[in-house]
């Protein structure tokens, strides 16, 4: 029997849209299924000022049809030179919704990020004063810390001391990948939330490493062992409003993924909602999908929930999603969840 569920149109609270030809090729997938997205600022050069964010926003809108209802929610890239008052002003003026903290060297285009958190305390204090959220890539980059431990060490060494020092600052731990991250968010009393990606609910580290190296499953933070994936799934379907969707859809061309030093990122914009419906159905928690994709994030960012709806249909036969999309920079592989997808977002 065909099954269908209608939910409030989702938002994506962590998204990479890139720029230029890549932006033109990928923006439409997100705009088709999501009303809003928090747009990550890790361009080259990064989006550091309100003017940068305004200009980037215009490039995003120009990449979409004029009748689109999609509303990009812009962010600033935190550097050790960011100006506290300018950052707070860009928030007050409604140009940006949040600031993104990348520890220098943690991920794609993060070399302008933060080396020493103490250097940016004046910016963080100014943000706390105006209620501006900080989105955090929560991994340390110390060479002597194992890559699978970097999230936990970040919580202990950076995040927890920061929250003790500045409890008023609203923080989103982006793309949490460990049970340590889940437990830490759950133990917090206020001002802490987390995004969860689609792919981290589906793959563990075996996907990357077993049976040959699989660069299209390599992303940062890197997928962890199975017990962590299960903790992420439990949090996603729990109905706890501190956990919401941030796909972290991060397109790179196949040429840049399939090389000796391949880029990190999974491109999920095209099949995120069908994959999530599959996951929530598997957990027997389809009724919790709407909160996770369409309510909790909006509430956290103090934005109204969307009025529009989408309908997800479960077909009798697997849906044939493209395995890659063509961009002006070359083909980009679409995330393969390694299961048949029966769900589809019905055309509006
Ligand atoms: C992201 C990218 O490519 O911009 N990559 C990724 O693996 N998630 C950066 C990031 O969010 O870490
Ligand atoms: Zn990201």
pLDDT tens, residue by residue, 289-334: 999 999 999 999 999 999 999 999 999 999 999 999 999 999 999 9
CA 42 to ligand 1 centroid distance, Å: 9
Residue 348, pLDDT > 80, answer no
Given the DSSP bridges, would you call strands 330-333 and 324-327 parallel, antiparallel or unpaired?
Answer: antiparallel
Quick one: pLDDT at residue 1? 64
Residues of the chain with pLDDT > 90: what percent?
Answer: 99
Whose tokens are 């890559």? That residue is 147
Segment 11-19 shows an average pLDDT of: 99
Give catalytic status of residue 248 as yes or no.
Answer: yes
The model's pLDDT over 238-256, given as tens digits with 9 standing for 90+, comes to 999 999 999 999 999 999 9
**Mean of per-residue pLDDT scores for the chain:** 98
Cβ of 64 closer than 6 Å to ligand 1, yes or no, is no
Quick one: pLDDT at residue 347? 87
Q: Is the pTM of this model over 0.85?
A: yes
Segment 52-69 shows an average pLDDT of: 98
Residues with CB under 5 A from ligand 2 (ion): 248
The model's pLDDT over 91-104, given as tens digits with 9 standing for 90+, comes to 999 999 999 999 99
The model's pLDDT over 255-269, given as tens digits with 9 standing for 90+, comes to 999 999 999 999 999
Quick one: pLDDT at residue 97? 98
Closest ligand relative to 14 C-alpha: 2
Quick one: pLDDT at residue 2? 74
Cβ of 249 closer than 6 Å to ligand 1, yes or no, is no
Could you say which of 11, 248, 307, 336 is catalytic?
A: 248
The model's pLDDT over 119-141, given as tens digits with 9 standing for 90+, comes to 999 999 999 999 999 999 999 99
To test the pocket of ligand 1, the residue of 108, 110, 194, 266 to mutate (highest count of ligand atoms within 8 Å of its CB) is 108
Write out the residue range of the structural domain in which residue 31 sits.
3-345
Domain tally, the chain: 1
Residue 195, pLDDT > 90, answer yes
Q: State which ligand 1 atom lies nearest to the alpha carbon of 42.
A: 4
Q: What is the CATH number of the domain that holds 78?
A: 3.20.20.140
pLDDT band at 17 (very low <50, low <70, confident <90, very high): very high
């Amino acid at each position: 029997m065909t099954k269908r569920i209608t939910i409030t149109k989702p938002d994506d609270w962590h998204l990479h849209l890139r720029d230029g030809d890549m932006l033109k090729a990928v923006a439409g997938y997100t705009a088709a299924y999501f009303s809003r997205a928090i747009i990550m600022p890790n361009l080259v050069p990064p989006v550091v000022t309100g003017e940068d964010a305004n200009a980037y926003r215009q490039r995003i809108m120009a990449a979409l049809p004029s009748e689109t209802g999609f509303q990009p929610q812009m962010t600033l890239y935190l550097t050790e030179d960011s100006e506290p008052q300018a950052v707070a002003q860009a928030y007050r003026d409604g140009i940006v919704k949040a600031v993104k903290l990348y520890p220098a060297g943690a991920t794609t285009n993060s070399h302008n990020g933060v080396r020493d958190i103490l250097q940016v305390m004046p910016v963080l204090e100014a943000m706390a004063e105006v209620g501006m959220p900080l989105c955090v890539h929560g991994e340390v980059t110390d060479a002597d810390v194992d890559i699978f431990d970097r999230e936990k060490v970040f919580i202990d060494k950076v995040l927890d001391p920061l929250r003790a020092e500045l409890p008023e600052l609203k923080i989103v731990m982006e793309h949490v990948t460990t049970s340590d991250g889940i437990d830490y968010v759950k133990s917090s009393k206020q001002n802490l939330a987390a995004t969860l990606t689609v792919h981290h609910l589906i793959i563990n580290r075996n996907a990357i490493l077993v049976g040959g190296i699989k660069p299209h499953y390599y992303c940062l933070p890197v997928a962890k062992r199975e017990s962590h994936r299960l903790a992420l799934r439990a949090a996603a379907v729990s109905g706890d409003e501190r956990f919401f969707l941030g796909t972290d859809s991060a397109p790179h061309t196949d040429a840049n993924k399939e090389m000796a030093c391949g880029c990190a990122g999974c491109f999920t914009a095209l099949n995120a909602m069908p994959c999530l419906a599959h996951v929530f159905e598997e957990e027997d928690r389809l009724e919790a999908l709407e909160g996770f994709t369409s309510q909790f994030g909006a509430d956290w960012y103090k934005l109204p929930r969307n009025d529009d709806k989408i309908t997800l249909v479960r077909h009798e036969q697997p849906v044939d999603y493209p395995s890659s999309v063509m961009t002006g920079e070359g083909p980009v592989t679409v995330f393969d969840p390694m299961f048949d997808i029966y769900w589809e977002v019905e055309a509006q």
